[in-house]
Amino acid sequence: MNKFWVVMSHTYFSRLKSKTFLVTTGIILLLIVALTNFQGIMDSVGSDDEGSAPKVAIIDETGDFFNPLEEQLNAQQAELELVSFQEGEEKAKQAVQDGEYRGVLTLQPSENGTPSGTYYTKQIAENSISGRLQQALQQVKVSVATENTGIDQQTVNGIFAPVAFEKVALDKEAKTEEELSEARGLVYIMLFLLYIGVIMYGNMIAQEVAQEKSSRVMEILISSVSPVTQMFGKILGIALLGVTQFGLILIVGVQSVKANMENLEGGIFTYFGLGDANTSTLIYAGVFFLLGYLLYATLAAMLGSLVSRTEDAQQVVTPMVLLIVAAFMIAMYGLNAPETMLVTVTSFIPFFAPMLMFLRVGMLDVPVWEVGISIALLIGTILLLAVVGGRIYRGGVLMYGKGNIVKSFKRAFQLSKKES
């Protein structure tokens, strides 16, 4: 047992002190701080005249559309300052070129008396202001058209009001719309973390094994430490590294969100729709995340032992990455259709179960026996990979040179028999 802790601690601290880990973690933390401060940064960089609203020149040929347009923009709380421009279109365009206005909007009546507009700006790609102007002008057009035809405005508002539509589940234990929204947020975060964690730390485990092989240290280690002990020591060492990295990300993310979104009621968990998440759902999240990591980490360590160079580690774990990508894509589809046959069947396949069974548990009322079968299959697959992977690991770490993956498996088995 002492050898296991030595392998685990060596793996953890060697990776923790590496420049790659420090730089990657630093960049991620900076990105999180930047994203949570995104609105403030954009306001400070993109604001005009020390935070004043952007100015738009309005040329109203009839004089009847300026006030209704301004009222609509105020009703939409659009931060735009409209200025009635009386000096002609060419001078207005020149004022835009000089930076005095963000754009100029000319308003003219159409054949039926409703307004139409032409918006001039430096760059057409800047559509945030033009979009707000177009939306407000559309409302003015509806108002003018209804007035010209003698239709009461309240009647028009009633016609365009959203239809009353309520969904009612017949199953007594079915989740409500609010519970589904909360579960969907938790499931999405869980899927994303598992996807990133498996790809990032799975590659790291494979590279760790290949790196030691390239330095010939493995030949010394394998004679004093059993292959299963060494393999799981590395797996848990990298897992502890992941806990450290995700812990730092979580702490910085929560503090940054609290500092910039203090107006959110209930804090960060309510903001992400997780404030009332069921305890059972959170427990399932932890169980499936742990089992999913162990499954793919064991597979990554086994595959990493088949190559002797870190450059080849990325290539040999490609099949594993494709598996997790496929599971992630099915899960993204399942977020809007969790009851489909595809999601149900794949939730029992061990390499897909960590994502898809958790998705079903979070969003549906899944029988306990189905969850139990899925977890049992996962644990059984992990144990099988541990046994088979231990033999391949013992023979694979003594293999050097290139070869296809099938031949490498055969050679690893043959070498493990000789060593046993």
Whether 383 contacts 373, CB under 8 Å: no
The structure tokens listed for 315 are 């290539």
Q: Which residue has the higher pLDDT, 52 or 272?
A: 52
Question: Mean per-residue pLDDT for 198-223?
Answer: 67
Whether 197 contacts 243, CB under 8 Å: no
CA separation for the pair 43, 220 (Å, rounded): 59
Question: Mean per-residue pLDDT for 317-338?
Answer: 87
Strand blocks (E) in 112-165: 115-121
Strands 81-84 and 103-109: unpaired
pLDDT tens-digit readout, 144-198: 888 777 777 677 777 777 777 777 766 666 666 666 666 677 777 778 878 887 7
Whether 285 contacts 358, CB under 8 Å: yes
Mean pLDDT of the chain: 77
* Partners of residue 115 on adjacent β-strands: 109
pLDDT tens-digit readout, 227-284: 667 777 878 888 888 888 878 887 887 777 667 655 444 444 454 555 555 677 778 8
Share of the chain above pLDDT 70, in %: 73
A 10 A CB-CB count for 419 gives: 13
| Residue 365's pLDDT band (cuts 50, 70, 90) | confident
CA separation for the pair 130, 151 (Å, rounded): 29
Per-residue model confidence (pLDDT) at position 178:
66
Share of the chain above pLDDT 90, in %: 7
pLDDT at 373 over 90: yes
Burial class (CB in 10 A: 0-12, 13-18, 19+), 125: exposed
94 Cβ neighbours under 8 A, 6+ residues apart: none
| Residue 397's pLDDT band (cuts 50, 70, 90) | low
Closest CA to 3 of 231, 305, 210: 231
CA separation for the pair 105, 93 (Å, rounded): 10
Burial class (CB in 10 A: 0-12, 13-18, 19+), 214: middle
Per-residue model confidence (pLDDT) at position 369:
92
Residue whose tokens read 């604001």? 47
The structure tokens listed for 192 are 């994303």
318-334 helix and 279-304 helix, angle to the nearest 10 degrees:
160
Q: How many Å is the Cα radius of gyration of the chain?
A: 31
pLDDT at 38 over 80: no
Whether 355 contacts 331, CB under 8 Å: yes
Domain boundaries, the chain: 53-160, 176-419
Architecture per CATH, domain 53-160, reads as: 3-Layer(aba) Sandwich (3.40)
Strands 115-121 and 103-109: antiparallel
Question: Mean per-residue pLDDT for 24-43?
Answer: 75
Q: What is the pTM of this model?
A: 0.65
pLDDT at 376 over 90: yes
CA separation for the pair 352, 360 (Å, rounded): 12
Q: What is the largest distance, in Å, between two alpha-carbon atoms of the chain?
A: 96
